[in-house]
Amino acid sequence: MNALCALHHFCDLHGPQTLLCTEGRTYIQDYNDNDNEELKTYYSQFMNAKSPQEKTQCQSCTLSSEGVVITTTDYSHHMQYVSSSSTPNAELFKTIRHACVRSLTIEKPTDSEHPIVFGDDQGGYCLSFSFVCKDFYARGSQRRYSLCYLCPDKYHLLSVMCFIEKCMKQIIFWLQYDASQTYSHEEQIQVSAKRHGIITATSVRRVLPCQPVQRMLSDIVCDSKLIYRAHALFVWILRTTNSAIQESLFEALPVQERIGGVHNQQIVKYRSETTDDSTDVDNDTYNNSNSDVDDDDDDDYDSLEYHFASYGFQALRLFRKFIMKLDNLKYLHYILFNWLTGNQLIIKYQNRTEDKDFIRAFISVFRLLLPDNCCHLMETTSQIASCTANLILLDMDALVTTADDCQQYTDKYSIAIRIIFDSSDEQIHLVELETQPSEKFDRINIFPTYVKVLVDLLTDSHLDDDTLEAIIIQQKNKYLNKAKLYFQLGRCPIASFLSMNEHQQMNILKITNPNDLLIIRFWQRGLSSAYKNQIHENNCKAMNGWFQVLQEKVVFIVGAAGGIGSAICQVCVSQGARVVIADVDKVAADQLLMKLRGDNEQIADRLISLQLDVTDEQAIEKAVQAVVDKWNTISVLINLAAVFVFGEVENISAADWSRNFDVNVRGYALLVKYIAPIMKKQRSGSIIQFGSISGVVAQIPFLPYGADKAAVIQMTKNLAADLGAFNIRCNSISPGLVVTPPVVTLATANGLSIENFTHNIVKDQCLKRAALPEEIANLVVFLASDLCPFITGANIVADGGYTIV
């Protein structure tokens, strides 16, 4: 599928519904056919003949009059954009429907400031933004909507994510503003009052309707042309985002071609004299580029850019002298072939002066022949980069090198060249190819076309320097675009391009020489590496901006210093929460705080550690008050504290029963007692209590512990019923076997290693392993966040399938 935009609504009667979907279709212009009208007729007949969303249409489930289809044709990009309430494409409808349901039922609550991303490679990816609009006649005086942008490529979605978010926010602001204006007008009625003989007009609030009224969004925002405005906005978004990957194949790729001193739009193959204008441009570029080079940093080769534009035609003249000293075009073919296909090039040079501009100018020609992402300059002490061609410079005068020192950089694919020059008179005195080509390089047909063209250009004495540079850049861009196409098709699962044979690849790339594939494949690896780096940066930004699901929430964790507790603290901090580390062991709590804080003072402001004995009611009250004094609220309570008493009923003392119950049940209830009023006041909150599979199924000999955990599970359900009216969610988690310090202690007490101990327990369950604390922590974060606003009273069993077999 192509990218598409959609507007959805959660109807009180019919659930999630699609109001408008704008899809892009490939369009081939034919002046003899009236394709546009036929397409409209086809869509209209489909929507009138069927009920695509399998429900009876009502006013709130439509954006405008039934059967309206709007089309816009983009002739320049051969695209046609169709807006309707549904689509005849069954697979596409399934994708849109899935995004509609998920964006309106599973997404963040409507007060979120950022959209979310979900999807997979098969069904595509969706960027969804949920929001509400005021409506006087709706249940709760508001209706819920969502905007979605769907596309099949997650990399493309990441590259345009910031742009789409800004567009969505602007659309939402426009809709909410208009809806608020309508709400204010409908909420009040004008009445006339006579007082002291003077008639005055005043406004009074209208009584809310007893029954909600279903009506269209266009009525809510008082805009009869809403469907056309939405269509125009969606088309603009799709055209803008689609052009990001259609123009030059990749606008998102961080590839910048350095044109050099002369920017020739029309290439003249043979020109004997350089025009005055081109010379001026070249001198300006040379001066400006040289001004950026720090003369005091000559020895730092990795910081020098060696760009051809810095040295201009001086570099080409030096390179032609280098070719003359080679005295054999076979050697030039050999050098360029290895350099352009990614093999290592080692230049051992000696300069009779200390001026390094000469070697920089010479090396800049090699840089000119390759894309920026496919070459890497280094000194002998640098590490060789993977997936790039490497140019190693060995200053034989400055470095005390031996044959063994040089040998470590040489492999069977390396090309070593020895050069002696004198920069004072710009002369090259010696060029020696230390790595001799094999007999197969005697055949000219082994070389790619690009190599042959370069050799012909560099040895053509009739070409002046600016024309030579322009032709080289043109040829390089030609192969660079083929490499981009190869890279793009390789990422497209529909094309299955990489599974084709070489002949099919050559046909698509429009090349006739099979050796050209060597260059194209190497160049696309460089593009791939650069693209992955950019995606990683975008992903990090997205993680920081959109996946901080506990941003600014105050999370009170009791029993935080244990195995699962410490993992929960770490994940909560990473998700932007303010964390209260409460544990009966103050030393362990302080150590965990120091570990989480590290050297980051910003994180330190979001952490507090407390010593808390859950059997002491006064201590609980003081701890809660201390947190409220610091952060004014508590958003999430996680009851995790526990003691473990195991045995048969006749061997358990009354003190053990009391201790077990006081910590595992009574302590949980006391914490809720003092934190629930805070959550009631703010009318939001999440309480998460830890049960266990021992409270779900009978285990031997887990009698006291299992009874307590069963009590916790039932207590959580009662709390959900009591606190639900205040929008407080209460859920319990019942883990199976988790590798924590108590489990290790239990294994040791039984004379078993942790591996043997866990194996005996998990051998019969579905997943043949114990859980990690981080896996339980992720589940806690999900329940603590606003990602699941409709889950309460649930006991979520995370046991790897232990209790179902």
Residues belonging to the active site: 705
Within 247-328, residue ranges assigned H as helices are 276-290, 313-326
Q: How far apart are the C-alpha atoms of 634 and 37, rounded to whole Å?
A: 59
Q: How far apart are the C-alpha atoms of 240 and 160, rounded to whole Å?
A: 9
User: Cα-flanking dihedrals φ and ψ of residue 113, to 5°?
Assistant: -95, -5
Within 208-275, residue ranges assigned H as helices are 217-220, 226-246
Tokens found for residue 763: 């051998």
Q: How far apart are the C-alpha atoms of 647 and 312, rounded to whole Å?
A: 86
User: Cα-flanking dihedrals φ and ψ of residue 10, to 5°?
Assistant: -95, 105
CA distances from 217 to 129, 169, 221, 582, 731 (A): 17, 18, 6, 49, 36
Owner of token pair 């609550």 = 109
Count CB atoms within 10 A of the CB of residue 57. 15
Measure the CA angle with vertex 743, ends 740 and 744; round to 5°: 90
Count CB atoms within 10 A of the CB of residue 211. 6
User: Cα-flanking dihedrals φ and ψ of residue 782, to 5°?
Assistant: -60, -45
Measure the CA angle with vertex 259, ends 258 and 261; round to 5°: 115
Burial, 399: exposed, middle or buried (Cβ in 10 Å; 0-12, 13-18, 19+)? Answer: middle
Q: How far apart are the C-alpha atoms of 357 and 290, rounded to whole Å?
A: 10
**Cβ contacts of 117 within 8 Å, gap of 6 or more:** 125, 126, 127, 128, 157, 161, 542, 546
Is 378 in contact with 346 (CB distance < 8 Å)? no
Owner of token pair 């920089």 = 360
Q: How far apart are the C-alpha atoms of 564 and 690, rounded to whole Å?
A: 11
**Cβ contacts of 776 within 8 Å, gap of 6 or more:** 564, 567, 568, 733, 735, 738, 798
CA distances from 585 to 125, 273, 613, 616, 773 (A): 46, 85, 9, 14, 19
Residue 362: closest CA among 434, 285, 404, 417: 417
Is 240 in contact with 232 (CB distance < 8 Å)? no
**Cβ contacts of 451 within 8 Å, gap of 6 or more:** 333, 336, 337, 340, 519
Tokens found for residue 167: 């567009």
**Cβ contacts of 605 within 8 Å, gap of 6 or more:** none
| Farthest CA pair distance, the chain | 116
Is 663 in contact with 643 (CB distance < 8 Å)? yes
Is 143 in contact with 9 (CB distance < 8 Å)? yes
Measure the CA angle with vertex 297, ends 295 and 303; round to 5°: 115
Q: What is the DSSP letter of 359?
A: H
Residue 2: closest CA among 157, 111, 175, 211: 157
Tokens found for residue 626: 């201390």
Tokens found for residue 178: 């208009």
Rounded to a whole number of angstroms, the distance between the first and last alpha carbons of the chain is: 42
| Overall residue count recorded for the chain in this entry | 805
Q: How far apart are the C-alpha atoms of 715 and 672, rounded to whole Å?
A: 11
DSSP string, 478-498: HHHHHHHHHHHHHH-TTTTGG
